[in-house]
Amino acid sequence: SDLMAGRYNLNDFNAMVACGGFSYGDVLGAGGGWAKSILFNPQLRDQFSRFFANENTLSLGVCNGCQFISTLAEIIPGAENWPRFVRNKSERFEARAAMVKINDTNSLWFKGMAGSHMPIAVSHGEGRVEFKTPENLTALQAQNLIVAQYIDSHLNVTETYPANPNGSALGITAISNVDGRIAAMMPHPERVFRAVSNSWYPEDWSEDGAWMRIFRNARVNFK
């Protein structure tokens, strides 16, 4: 709303996070509607296009923000094979803890986290990836843009419910654009960035939980 009204401009920022929690209305498909308010507004579309193209910026979308960012893929460099996020296979809203594994990609948000297996909060009704064509999924894999995947209790990537809460192919739940500056993820790292937010954590952890790393990565990128 501030950008639409001209009170702020993305040129004044070097990082943007589109948050979850039913942003842009407590309705299904809200993230898509949020994105279309930009795509169909020439001034905003141009502003976001320039921001995404600027190599000195970072962008992250979480949950509804993940839907939002993925729907803007047509104006994001290096995101031509991204999926959209649609209704869970269960046809239900899923709120639980899930385990994900972090892959070795060039995502700046997830730098230094490859090989980690981590619990995270999920809370969504529309988190299943849907690709335009099977070739888009193949290309996404070839580009190494799959940042995180749901895993089972044996640490294997899974498409099986409930370890995979939405039925996404290959357990895909976080993706990056080609240069690593822009990421979209369905689970909620901001809900478990403190150690005490976890039901169990190692005794040598103090204040920071494992997911604090992605926010520190963003800060380090602009030091």
Region 29-46 average pLDDT: 87
Residue 130, both tokens: 């849907």
How far apart are the C-alpha atoms of 57 and 181, rounded to whole Å?
7
Active-site choice (94, 124, 126, 190): 190
Active-site choice (63, 66, 124, 126): 63
Residues 165 and 149 sit within 8 Å (Cβ to Cβ) = no
Q: What is the pLDDT of residues 38-82, one digit of tens each?
A: 999 999 999 999 999 999 999 999 999 999 999 999 999 999 999
- State pTM to two decimals: 0.93
- Judge whether residue 25 has pLDDT over 60: no
The reply to whether 55 belongs to the active site is no
The confidence score (pLDDT) of residue 158 equals 98
The reply to whether 154 belongs to the active site is no
The reply to whether 190 belongs to the active site is yes
Q: Which helix (H) or strand (E) holds 17?
A: strand 15-18
How far apart are the C-alpha atoms of 20 and 172, rounded to whole Å?
18
Residue 163, both tokens: 């370890």
